[in-house]
Amino acid sequence: MSIYVDNAATTKMSPAAMQAMLPYFDQIYGNPSSLHSEGQRAAEALAGARARIAARLGCQPREITFTSGGSEADTQALLSAAHLGARKGKWHIISTAFEHHAVLHTLEALERQGFSVTLLDVHENGLVTPEQVKAALRPDTCLVSVMYANNEIGTVQPIGEIGRVCREAGVLFHTDAVQAVGHLPIHVGELQVDLLSLSAHKVHGPKGVGALYARKGIPLESVIYGGAQERDRRAGTENLPAILGMAAALEESCAHMEERARTLTLLRERLIDGLSQIPHAVLNGDRARRLPGNVSFCFEGIEGESLLLLLDDRGIRASSGSACTSGSLDPSHVLLALGRPHEIAHGSLRLTLSHENTQEDVDAVIRAVTEVVAYLRSISPVWRDLTSGKTEFILKEAV
């Protein structure tokens, strides 16, 4: 038995999305840039997928650029907007401390180019406010980038209100909507965003494909040098099967959004209630203003990676939500941004549900996490010191 609860990392492809891709491997396989009829059939399919995706976002097809995924869309959005600002003498960017690394690392690259970056603090509930954005605006601010839904703790930011603040100030606004797409309503006009990134593999589509919405009139610079594909905005032969798969996945998840959100929210609440019974544990992020399928906890006296591995032994595929890159066990920058102390941030567990999960899955996860946490604590010297009173608990009581 295996229970997959790591849907924020990636999702299983939907059969409809897989079916939608197949003809574009061996039937409509032309290069959309070719002038012959095989190429033109491919170009028509590309235009069709672009129109369908644009319809889901409430924008014009010309405002959609296909990319290799969310990371490339984020990179391209930030570099384009920043360089546009620099040409007008504006070198200041506002973002948040809990963005995805695709945003944070692009901002670091921009700092090396001379930009100054203000990273807003995140409130303990995992939210940033329009007031914070407003207060950070400067006359030389050219860009604000705030993610729609956080990939670790699932909190949903007030993007429409932040968009209004930016528009009133005449500052470009980008949102990384990779985790929000398919789960939350997205209409670029209502959200007042100028740039929006999405990725297919987080919504049951294929990996390695995404899209960037850029409002008409905003020039995008290609981050890849080569041909004139995507109206000179993104070089490289279009990944037609993946793009058609993305269009199908997006349509399917949007068509079922409300019904899936309702069932996912019920499962999420059951999971949160169950895990809240574990002593010295805390839910990360606002309980209500979070993605329907996201549950993120910290357990005191626990090492997240051990918890993950023991859960994996029991068939449960979860995530610690921490960036443990190449052996270094740095705690998650997202949990630190919430103000969690290092010891607490180390004991994190992220469980992200999909519509395929059942109540039985949730109950099995609650049982397994409860038992594994108790076991790890029983063999932990840190826990012995806490319970003997030698050191003090940080999480005083069960939440």
Ligand X SMILES: *Cc1c(COP(=O)(O)O)cnc(C)c1O
Residues near ligand X (CB under 6 A) are 69-71, 74, 100, 102, 147, 151, 176, 178-179, 199, 201-202, 210
Helix (H) or strand (E) holding 299: strand 294-299
- Report the nearest approach of ligand X to the CB of residue 109 (Å): 16
Which is closer to ligand X, CB of 69 or CB of 304?
69
Q: Is 142 a catalytic residue?
A: no
Residue position matching structure tokens 């993305």: 246
Q: Exposed e or buried b for every residue in 188-220, given b needs 16+ CB within 10 A? A: beebbbbbbbbbbbbbbbbbebbbbbbbeeeeb
- Report the nearest approach of ligand X to the CB of residue 157 (Å): 11
- Report the nearest approach of ligand X to the CB of residue 9 (Å): 8
Contacts from 108-111 at CB under 8 Å and sequence distance 24+?
Answer: 109/79, 110/78, 110/79, 110/82
**Residues in CB range of 378: below 8 A, 6 or more apart:** none
CA separation for the pair 72, 21 (Å, rounded): 22
Which is closer to ligand X, CB of 176 or CB of 361?
176
- Report the nearest approach of ligand X to the CB of residue 278 (Å): 27
CA separation for the pair 94, 130 (Å, rounded): 12
CB 79 within 8 A of CB 223: yes
- Report the nearest approach of ligand X to the CB of residue 111 (Å): 20
CB 348 within 8 A of CB 332: yes
Which is closer to ligand X, CB of 70 or CB of 241?
70
**Which of the following is catalytic: 59, 142, 298, 324?**
324
* Neighbouring-strand partners of residue 212: 65, 197
CA separation for the pair 7, 126 (Å, rounded): 20
* Neighbouring-strand partners of residue 149: 156
- Report the nearest approach of ligand X to the CB of residue 149 (Å): 7
Which is closer to ligand X, CB of 209 or CB of 282?
209
By beta-carbon distance, which residue lies closest to ligand X? 70
Q: Where are the beta strands (DSSP E) in 203-264?
A: 210-214
Token couple for 144: 């604000």
Q: Exposed e or buried b for every residue in 287-302, given b needs 16+ CB within 10 A? A: eeebbbbbbbbbbbbb
Helix (H) or strand (E) holding 20: helix 15-21
Q: How many CA atoms lie within 13 A of 256 on its CB side?
A: 14
End-to-end CA distance of the chain: 31
Which is closer to ligand X, CB of 67 or CB of 192?
67
CA separation for the pair 91, 70 (Å, rounded): 24
Which is closer to ligand X, CB of 261 or CB of 366?
261
Token couple for 13: 């492809």
- Report the nearest approach of ligand X to the CB of residue 177 (Å): 8
Which is closer to ligand X, CB of 101 or CB of 215?
101
Which is closer to ligand X, CB of 199 or CB of 294?
199
- Report the nearest approach of ligand X to the CB of residue 255 (Å): 22
Catalytic residues: 324
